[in-house]
Structure 1
């Protein structure tokens, strides 16, 4: 579906897996976590229990690596019936710390897109996760100069977006969101009257998976970020 974007004045970008690689590192960490606990359960069971723990803890810890680390530790204790060694717990913490300190890997075309859109539109970042971690990644990415505003949201639901747009005095009809998650970056915006572009990433967290509507209204899907330049 092609959309008329003539009225767009402000463009919001998701960060993780839209501007830079993120989910891949979580999948790698899950593989290492399963290897650490293979004496207690099968890999499939370990993956399932870790995911359950993450979802259970979302209200407490929110999104991000630190909450993921705590969920790994709690899942390890539960799966091992509190028998997991201190050494393994230390290894889990090391996995999380390496994730936090990992160099930022920009996705293809990001700089080119931002350079072409800067000046023509007001560009902002709308992401969720741990505030300190996201600020750190943005600084390491060297992308801050392209954005008028950066917002780290506790969640990405319709009310979160509407409240922020109201606060920033952005007319929803003039707003376009670009992101990799249908659940977080696309459908909530469409539901409040904005437009969105879905740029799928090859790896998606299970919690973010939803079925794509058969009839697309208010958004379109492109294969890569640079494709948005054909419409803006």
Structure 2
């Protein structure tokens, strides 16, 4: 990795906390709908609805709340009171107002890498929400480019690299999702560092171990400097 030119960072649960807040919203939703199904069944139905809606809504808060409303209507056979819909909408608004909690070592690492590499953000989610979080985090000043991607497949990374005018072998991706941040980058010939977060959305999990010469793992962000040296 000594010849790297561009280092890209995922945002949610790599730079700052995200999945924890979505988990809290899901807990509220399951409690709200507890008269209809068990908590486990409600979570399963919500997950299925989310996955079915990804091609239409993409990732992010708006799609999540719309999927909640659709799930609520489905499991209640369209008898859900309007007050429940209002509560679900409020869950979404609450998510947009969550404080930004930077993860350990993020600022120190960005300070160290600034000027040595072209730093970019490559993340999924809602464009408005991701830009809001980056602005509130104070991290925007470190990044040359911010890319909010509709998905993170090989073709999406190749498109990003083309816009950045960088070859895969000169590119490093850092993130918490093996499925989205790591595997596609390795498959196109880039480098990837996995920094696990304590919780991962089910859709982002994989069931096999990654063994690749371009792959590294780190416990916290500050380990990145040693990996690059």
TM superposition score normalised by structure 2? 0.98
Q: Distance in 2 between matches of 1:229 and 1:218?
A: 16
1:58 and 2:59 correspond: no
Q: Deviations over 1:71-97 (max 9, x none)?
A: 000000001111111111101110110
**1:227 and 2:223 correspond:** yes
The alignment status of 1:165 with 2:167, answered yes or no, reads: no
Residues 67-216 of structure 1 aligned to structure 2 (within 5 Å): 67-213=63-209, 215-216=211-212
Change in 2 beyond 3 A, CA 1:72/1:138: same
Cα distance in 2 for partners of 1:227, 1:59 equals: 36
Aligned equivalent of 1:218:
214
> 1: distance between equivalents of 2:42 and 2:174?
33
**Mapped partners of 2:209, 2:159: distance in 1:** 25
Root-mean-square deviation (Å) = 0.9
Name 1:32's counterpart in structure 2: 28
1:15 to 2, 11, 15: 11
Task: Give the gaps of 5 or more residues in structure 1.
Answer: none
CA offsets 1:138-194 (integer angstroms, 9 cap, x no match): 100000110000000000000000011012201111111100000000010000000
Comparing 210-219 and 139-148, the one that deviates more:
210-219
For residues 211 and 9 of structure 1, what CA distance do their matches in structure 2 show? 31
Distance of 2:23 and 2:110 partners within structure 1 = 28
Q: 3-state SS of the aligned residue for 1:231?
A: helix
Structure 2 SS opposite 1:74: helix
Distance 1:184 1:167 in 2: 19
Counterparts of 1:107 and 1:158 in 2: how far apart (Å)?
27
Q: Secondary structure at the match of 2:17?
A: coil
Q: How many residues align?
A: 228
